[in-house]
A = this chain, B = another copy of it.
Amino acid sequence: MQRIDYPPLIQELIRQLRRMPGIGPRSAERIALWIVQKKEARPNEIADAISKTVSGIRSCVRCGFFSEADQCAICADQGRDSSSLCVVEQPTDILSLERTGAFRGLYHALGGRLSPLDHVGPEDLRIDALLRRVQEEGLHEVIFALSADVEGEATLSYLGDLLVREGVVITRLAQGLPAGSGLETADELTLARAFSGRTVFQR
């Protein structure tokens, strides 16, 4: 008597679903059975959405954000402040900043940060394109919004040296206590940076 399992098509579907981040074997099986069993599932729409996204989404040629056209919605927006450029590591960081509503300028996604251990050097990031934008777009300020860790600091240091002769104001995000958290949960380094970066109290 043979060992019975799902038909090969379902087994392959489970294998494919398991490759998605955060999807374990139980979730993959559950989703696969939902696809097979539920009439209201319309799973072809999911397959379509995946295919269309794969073929339809590219990187904005200017800033690197996700886009369906050559230029993304941010770069194409005439209403934005084109004198400020915010440099981030990943295109997803752009959306995080947009959601704060704190910035109205343009962005530049490097595509990562310098990380010798992962064999990521300056040539792997969109640094030439950044330098060109700084030289050609008449910027007033370049704001670095990179991770507050060793690799983010190294990347900032490298890019800061590179841009300092270009005559733009170079700034970086403040480091300090996360909103809503108390001193007792802050590590020493965060507390030290929050202290040294203290600001004048204003009413």
Contact = CB atoms under 8 A, between A and B. Distances in A.
A36 B66 contact: yes
B44 A51 contact: yes
A7 B47 contact: no
A181 interface: no
Please state the number of chain copies in the assembly: 2
A43 B23 CA distance: 14
B7 A66 contact: yes
A6 interface: yes
A164 interface: no
B43 A54 contact: yes
A50 B22 contact: no
A77 interface: yes
A102 interface: no
A186 B98 CA distance: 53
Interface in A1-55: 1-2, 4-10, 12-13, 15-17, 19-23, 27, 30-37, 41-54
A56 interface: yes
Interface stretch (A67-75, A116-124, A146-154): A67-75
Given A6-B95, A79-B1, A95-B6, A32 B13 contact: no
A20 B7 contact: no
Contacts of A67: 7
Given A5-B98, A21-B34, A43-B53, 11 more contacts: A2-B77, A6-B95, A9-B53, A12-B52, A13-B49, A13-B50, A33-B92, A35-B50, A37-B91, A44-B51, A47-B54
